[in-house]
């Protein structure tokens, strides 16, 4: 323990020396002056998780996209962020006044007085619009014709459950458990994991809490797992591929999840599934963990639900078979779009392909939702597209029954859901599904916005 702490000190000294030699300044992102705008080449998920959220007014990066994990964390913290701004670190100087317009994806440094005034007015009307959404607090989430859907939040750590509850979420649709692992220096023990999951379960009372098992890999690196470097980590040995191959380690997490299920409506979700075997293998491990807990005399929910993320084209194509053996689906559009379009979610050069409005993606979503609903299981969506105001009528028409969004998007999503009847959503969707290009789809959805 002692030497591990000293190692961090040595690493700090190394960073300090290197910065001195290179003539660069070291900035501690966890403690910044008020109203800071952070301008960096790249923001990793762990840097974002450390950020001084009270004092950061905006984030600008040179890399990444709307659904990179840094963007997702920034959204959850309600920090305006614009990613993929070429040469931002060269063109913006320390101490300059900067406007970060997260809505339009615009960054303006050294604004003229009239631009600054216009933006002050814009910020004010944004705040007023947000205040008006308060009318939806405490209300049920129902469509215009009274159909109930579940509106839940995505979280990254146990404390986020408070934020979710403050924003009036009806539960948690995705707890990205990998952040627990990323924040630790070594594998969290069963008790440490149990404490984290139990905290969320208790905070959400009897509302559903879907916890995803470790989604390691891709842009989520966990150094102490010492995974081999791969040429293409997004298609490599990750997520549900890694876990069952390390059954003893995986069972620690599954056992902690089962123990937490005695304290709330905890459900287990598997990431990046591509085959039925993966589901069967994971479910067999859950059964082994149940037996161990029986022997230990520890309580858990014997009927705990096990569902999967649908975020690969393979899972979409076999959604009917998966629905037979899964208790629920949650569609991960962040990855599904990327793998369907062969366009990395963080690569700005292919971002014109990376959109949910692509006919290929829409057909995939339709297929997944219908396959799940035909088998009578809940089909949710926890990718960022679930909060896309333009897409909501289409998702309602397909039959999505759970929307899992960043906590600050809850009230706005509830408002938009309430604006659409099934009949209206169906009529629009029928027309949209006949279109041949993403641009046409977006234009039609924009025109239909209420």
**Which residues are near Mg ion by CB under 5 A?**
311, 332, 335
Q: Name the closest residue to Mg ion (Cβ).
A: 335
Q: Name the closest residue to ligand PEP (Cβ).
A: 332
Closest approach of Mg ion to the CB of residue 335, in Å: 4
Closest approach of Mg ion to the CB of residue 61, in Å: 20
Closest approach of ligand PEP to the CB of residue 335, in Å: 3
Q: Which of 61, 308, 334, 406 binds ligand PEP (CB under 6 A)?
A: 334
Residues forming a β-bridge with 378: 328
Whole-number Å distance between alpha carbons of 148 and 53: 34
Task: Verify whether residue 69 is a known catalytic residue.
Answer: yes
Give the DSSP H/E element, type plus range, for residue 425. Answer: helix 422-432
Q: Are strands 402-406 and 378-381 parallel, antiparallel or unpaired?
A: parallel
Nearer to Mg ion, 157 or 330 (CB): 330
Nearer to ligand PEP, 382 or 391 (CB): 382
Closest approach of ligand PEP to the CB of residue 69, in Å: 7
Instruction: Select from Mg ion, ligand PEP, none the partner in contact with residue 333, using the beta carbon and a kind-dependent cut-off of 5 to 8 Å.
Output: ligand PEP
Considering only the stretches 13-21, 162-170, 247-255, 333-341, report the one whose residues sit in contact with ligand PEP under the rule CB under 6 A: 333-341
Whole-number Å distance between alpha carbons of 347 and 234: 13
Which 352-411 positions form the footprint of ligand PEP (CB under 6 A)? Answer: 382-383
Instruction: Select from Mg ion, ligand PEP, none the partner in contact with residue 383, using the beta carbon and a kind-dependent cut-off of 5 to 8 Å.
Output: ligand PEP
Closest approach of ligand PEP to the CB of residue 336, in Å: 7
Catalytic residue among 69, 167, 243, 289: 69
Positive or negative: CA dihedral 322, 323, 327, 330: positive
Token representation of residue 53? 């959220």
Closest approach of ligand PEP to the CB of residue 174, in Å: 6
Instruction: Select from Mg ion, ligand PEP, none the partner in contact with residue 382, using the beta carbon and a kind-dependent cut-off of 5 to 8 Å.
Output: ligand PEP
Whole-number Å distance between alpha carbons of 16 and 19: 5
Whole-number Å distance between alpha carbons of 53 and 373: 40
Q: Which residue is it, tokens 């905006």?
A: 58
Which 161-180 positions form the footprint of ligand PEP (CB under 6 A)? Answer: 174, 176
Q: What letter does residue 64 receive in the DSSP assignment?
A: -
Nearer to ligand PEP, 372 or 424 (CB): 372
Main-chain phi, psi angles of 392, to 5 degrees: -50, -45
Distances (CA, A) of 424 to 90, 234, 393: 49, 39, 8
How many chain residues are in contact with ligand PEP, going by CB under 6 A? 10
Q: Are 169 and 421 in contact (CB under 8 A)?
A: no
Task: Verify whether residue 167 is a known catalytic residue.
Answer: no
Nearer to ligand PEP, 88 or 410 (CB): 410
Closest approach of Mg ion to the CB of residue 324, in Å: 23
The two most distant CA atoms of the chain are separated, in Å, by 71
Q: Are 401 and 379 in contact (CB under 8 A)?
A: yes
Instruction: List the one residue out of 263, 221, 219, 217 whose CA is nearest residue 243.
Output: 217
344 lies in the binding site for ligand PEP (CB under 6 A): no
Catalytic residue among 243, 289, 326, 382: 382
Each residue 208-247 as x (binds ligand PEP by CB under 6 A) or -, in order, gives -------x--------------------------------
Nearer to Mg ion, 239 or 441 (CB): 239
Q: What is the CA radius of gyration of the chain?
A: 22
Distances (CA, A) of 445 to 144, 397, 450: 18, 13, 10
Q: Are 385 and 333 in contact (CB under 8 A)?
A: yes
Q: What letter does residue 33 receive in the DSSP assignment?
A: -
Q: Which of 63, 333, 401, 406 binds ligand PEP (CB under 6 A)?
A: 333
Instruction: List the one residue out of 205, 224, 204 whose CA is nearest residue 216.
Output: 224
Main-chain phi, psi angles of 236, to 5 degrees: -105, -150
80 lies in the binding site for ligand PEP (CB under 6 A): no
Q: Which of 335, 344, 402, 424 binds ligand PEP (CB under 6 A)?
A: 335
Binding site for ligand PEP (CB under 6 A): 174, 176, 215, 311, 332-335, 382-383
Query: Which of the residues are catalytic?
Result: 69, 382
């Amino acid at each position: 323990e002692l030497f591990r702490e000293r190692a961090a000190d040595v690493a700090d000294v190394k960073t300090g020396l290197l910065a001195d030699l290179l003539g660069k300044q070291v900035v501690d992102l966890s403690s910044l002056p008020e109203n800071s705008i952070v301008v960096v080449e790249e923001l990793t998920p762990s840097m974002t998780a450390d950020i001084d959220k009270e004092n950061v007014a905006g984030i600008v990066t040179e890399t990444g996209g709307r659904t990179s994990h840094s963007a997702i964390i920034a959204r959850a913290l309600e920090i305006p962020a614009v990613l993929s701004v070429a040469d931002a670190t060269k063109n913006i100087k320390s101490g300059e006044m900067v406007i970060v317009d997260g809505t339009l994806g615009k960054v303006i440094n050294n604004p003229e007085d009239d631009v600054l005034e216009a933006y002050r007015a814009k910020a004010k009307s944004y705040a007023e619009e947000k205040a008006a959404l308060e009318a939806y607090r405490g209300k049920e989430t129902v469509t215009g014709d009274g159909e109930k859907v579940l509106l839940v939040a995505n979280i990254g750590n146990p404390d986020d459950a408070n934020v979710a509850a403050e924003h009036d979420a009806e539960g948690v649709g995705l707890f990205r458990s990998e952040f627990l692992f990323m924040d630790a220096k070594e594998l969290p023990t069963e008790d440490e994991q149990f404490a984290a999951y139990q905290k969320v379960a208790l905070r959400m009372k009897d509302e559903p809490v879907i916890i995803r098992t470790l989604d390691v890999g891709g842009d989520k690196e966990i150094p102490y797992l010492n995974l081999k470097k791969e040429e293409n980590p997004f298609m490599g040995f990750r997520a549900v591929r890694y876990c069952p191959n390390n059954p003893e380690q995986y069972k620690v997490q599954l056992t902690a999840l089962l123990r937490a299920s005695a304290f709330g409506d905890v459900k287990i979700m598997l990431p990046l599934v591509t085959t039925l075997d993966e589901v069967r293998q994971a479910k067999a491990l859950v059964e082994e963990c149940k037996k161990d807990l029986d022997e230990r005399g520890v309580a858990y929910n014997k009927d705990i639900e096990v569902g999967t993320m649908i975020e690969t084209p393979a899972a979409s194509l076999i959604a009917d078979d998966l629905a037979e053996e899964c208790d629920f689906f949650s569609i991960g559009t962040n990855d599904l779009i990327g793998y369907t379009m062969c366009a990395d979610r963080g690569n700005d050069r292919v971002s014109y392909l990376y959109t949910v409005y692509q006919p290929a993606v829409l057909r995939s979503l339709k297929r997944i939702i219908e396959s799940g609903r035909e088998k009578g299981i809940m089909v949710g969506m926890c990718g960022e597209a679930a909060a896309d105001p333009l897409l909501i009528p289409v998702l309602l028409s397909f039959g999505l029954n759970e929307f899992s969004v960043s906590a600050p998007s809850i009230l706005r999503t509830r408002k938009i859901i309430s604006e659409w009847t099934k009949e209206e959503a169906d009529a629009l969707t029928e027309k949209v599904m006949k279109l041949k290009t993403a641009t046409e789809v977006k234009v039609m959805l924009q025109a239909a916005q209420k």
